[in-house]
Amino acid sequence: MGRLAAVFCALAVLVSAAAEARPASKGWFAEGGLGAVAFLPPRASRGAALGPSLGVRVGRDLFSWLSLNVHVAASSHEAIVPPPPEGEWFQLYRGAGDLRLTGRFDRLALYAEGGAGLVMISSNVLGKLMITDPGEEFGVMFGGGAGFEYQLENRHYSVGIGVDAFFVPQFAKMAGLDSRAFLRYTY
């Protein structure tokens, strides 16, 4: 019985050591990501093709589990409207503020985030599908997403993969998914 208790205690010590958070910086951070944006049905997916995206995020960890972020992202898409025009591209610029909840498990951290912001479309090419109205360039955007980070040996750096969904009611309820791989630096 005593031997069993000793083994149990040893295991408990080992498990608690493994569960201890890996050293990771906390505070101001910046994140840069590359990925792709795909639009969701019904309308936007018929008017715009999958396109590359680039995003930058700056934020501050208020606690180890909560951070406040501002991010800007741009993506470029081929408009697939009935010709003419044909082969024309447009850009979608997104800027938002959001809150991120993070749970850290050793080297891995899982997060979920949500927020709101503004979106700007670079041209009226989607007007042909009535996705944008004449003169409509800006819209309010709501978004949320999730992903995970992997902490590197250097406590300032981590890499990760994330997916954010966004929704723009003004642009004929345009919805899309921004999937990205990112590098994060925490000061």
What is the closest distance, in whole angstroms, from the C-beta atom of residue 177 to another protein in the complex?
21
Q: Is 124 a binder of another protein (CB under 8 A)?
A: yes
Amino acid letter at 5?
A: A
Positive or negative torsion for Cα 90, 179, 157, 152: negative
Q: Which residue number, 69 or 151, has a Cβ lying nearer to another protein?
A: 69
Select from 61-69, 127-135, 141-149, 164-172 the region that touches another protein (CB under 8 A): 127-135
Cα(98)–Cα(116) distance, integer angstroms: 7
Q: Which is nearer to another protein, 11 or 30 (CB)?
A: 30
- 40 burial (CB, 10 Å; 0-12 / 13-18 / 19+) is middle
Does 169 help bind another protein (rule: CB under 8 A)? Answer: no
The reply to whether 183 sits near another protein by the rule CB under 8 A is: no
What residue has token string 């954010």?
A: 164
- The rounded distance, in Å, linking the Cα atoms of 148 and 108 is 7
The residues binding another protein (CB under 8 A) are 30, 56, 58, 70, 72, 74, 83-86, 88, 90-91, 93, 95, 120, 122-125, 127-128, 134-135, 137, 185
